[in-house]
């Protein structure tokens, strides 16, 4: 196997192999970035027969490629925005978290986890359901922050999909209101408002303490809709195509220097700018288009590029936004083809985020 074929710039696959995206500003730069990191997500690792095809092979190939520096120098760290495991049953959470940690610890650089809904089966903050994650990754890795090269990274547990501790069901005006009520009945409980309150209070405190620093936030469930909202609601098929409620995004948009929010969960790739903040969702490896993103931080900007795994590890049958699952493909105004809808258009495949 050609070692250089493990991963490729995602944009190249959208434009028939043209090299045009190798000429982006990242490649033109002469100076070395002061920091680089990779954003991965939704690996849905599990032992035995996985729910998503080839997940272990994909993660192993990714780690080998990163460690051997065959496509770019070893990053400073890797950020995993959740659904590291598939889970689904309480008794599977601990062994799968252990397996995911053992697998991802092979990375030659540090990596930082974010809680996804699959790590806790949607029960954010539930002492029993969150116990496996805390035991394996650390109770101090639920809502936490760190600083690198002058940037503050804030990692949030958004695994319930709820932005606010109180959801007023009477006020919900969405076509999927019945799904939301069902979700809250099945996965909610007394612990949930307290857990969300604690997360939001912690976030406010961190934002106060780091007021002058430029910041990047990572959370599993996107804060805003990354596609035309009604289309995404249908193609994703779950109410959590974005966080329910605007409390978190309003909190961040009130700040002057939140530069980006990184998320996963949707199993598609895209980027949207809203009120100065660039929201980037990376599909991760379980589902097509099997992307991760590389972030190169320079003095004046951050360059973000999507990469796709090599063709033998790309699994079109795992596309959850297309005809295989729904009997029809989806498009919206900015994504006129099914491929762009799930893998992002050319604007999304390379983004430049200006720093102060």
Least CB distance to Fe ion at residue 94 (A): 19
Nearer to Fe ion by Cβ, of 152 and 320: the residue is: 320
Tokens representing 84 are 């590291």
Least CB distance to Fe ion at residue 194 (A): 22
Tokens representing 41 are 């997500």
Check: CB of residue 293 under 8 Å from CB of residue 37: no
Nearer to Fe ion by Cβ, of 265 and 294: the residue is: 265
Q: Does 119 bind Fe ion (CB under 5 A)?
A: no
* CA gap 234, 325 in Å, rounded: 11
> How many distinct helices (H) and strands (E) make up the chain?
13, 13
- Site residues for Fe ion, window 197-216 (CB under 5 A)? none
* CA gap 122, 145 in Å, rounded: 22
Q: Does 117 bind Fe ion (CB under 5 A)?
A: yes
Q: Candidates 4-12, 35-43, 84-92, 135-143: pick the segment binding Fe ion (CB under 5 A).
A: 35-43
Nearer to Fe ion by Cβ, of 117 and 278: the residue is: 117
Least CB distance to Fe ion at residue 78 (A): 17
Least CB distance to Fe ion at residue 118 (A): 6
* CA gap 81, 96 in Å, rounded: 16
**Run of H or E including 231:** helix 229-236
- Give which of 183, 208, 195, 150 is closest to 356, Cα–Cα: 150
| Backbone phi and psi for residue 332, each to the nearest 5 degrees, phi listed first | -145, -175
Binding test (CB under 5 A) with Fe ion, winner from 83, 96, 176, 340: 83
- By rule CB under 5 A, what string of x and - marks binding of each residue 138-177 to Fe ion? ----------------------------------------
Q: Does 42 bind Fe ion (CB under 5 A)?
A: yes
Check: CB of residue 270 under 8 Å from CB of residue 226: yes
Q: Does 303 bind Fe ion (CB under 5 A)?
A: no
Residue nearest to Fe ion (CB): 83
Nearer to Fe ion by Cβ, of 42 and 96: the residue is: 42
Displacement of CA 8 from its chain's centroid (Å): 19
Check: CB of residue 238 under 8 Å from CB of residue 254: no
- Site residues for Fe ion, window 246-285 (CB under 5 A)? 265
- Site residues for Fe ion, window 332-351 (CB under 5 A)? none
Q: Which residues bind Fe ion (CB under 5 A)?
A: 42, 83, 116-117, 265
């Amino acid at each position: 196997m050609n070692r250089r074929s493990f991963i490729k710039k995602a944009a190249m696959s959208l434009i028939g192999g043209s090299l045009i995206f190798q000429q982006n500003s990242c490649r033109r730069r002469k100076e070395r970035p002061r920091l680089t990191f990779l954003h991965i997500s939704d690996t849905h690792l599990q032992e035995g027969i996985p729910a998503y095809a080839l997940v272990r092979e994909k993660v192993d190939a990714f780690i080998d490629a990163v460690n051997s520096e065959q496509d770019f120098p070893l990053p400073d760290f890797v950020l995993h925005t959740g659904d590291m495991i598939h889970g689904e049953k309480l008794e599977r959470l601990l062994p799968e978290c252990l397996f995911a940690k053992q697998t991802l610890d092979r990375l030659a650089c540090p990596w930082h986890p974010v809680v996804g809904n699959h790590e806790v089966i949607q029960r954010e903050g539930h002492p029993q359901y969150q116990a496996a994650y805390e035991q394996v990754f650390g109770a101090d890795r639920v809502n936490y922050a760190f600083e690198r090269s002058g940037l503050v990274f804030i990692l949030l547990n958004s695994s319930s999909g709820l932005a606010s501790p109180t959801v007023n069901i009477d006020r919900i005006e969405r076509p999927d209101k019945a799904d939301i009520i069902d979700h809250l009945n099945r996965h909610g409980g007394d612990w949930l408002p307290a857990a969300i309150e604690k997360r939001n209070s912690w976030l406010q405190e961190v934002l106060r303490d780091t007021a002058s620093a430029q910041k990047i936030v990572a959370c599993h469930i996107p804060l805003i809709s990354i596609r035309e909202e009604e289309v995404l609601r249908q193609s994703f098929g779950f109410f959590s195509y974005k966080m329910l409620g605007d409390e978190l995004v309003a909190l961040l948009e009130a700040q002057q220097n939140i530069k980006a929010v990184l998320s996963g969960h949707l199993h598609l790739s895209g980027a949207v700018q809203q009120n100065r903040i660039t929201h980037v969702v990376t599909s991760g490896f379980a589902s097509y288009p099997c992307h991760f993103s590389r972030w190169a931080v320079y003095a004046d900007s951050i360059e973000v590029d999507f990469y796709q795994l090599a063709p033998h590890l790309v699994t079109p049958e795992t596309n959850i936004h297309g005809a295989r699952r729904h009997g029809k493909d989806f498009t919206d105004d900015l994504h006129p083809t099914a491929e762009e809808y799930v893998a992002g258009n050319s604007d999304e495949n390379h983004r430049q985020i200006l720093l102060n």
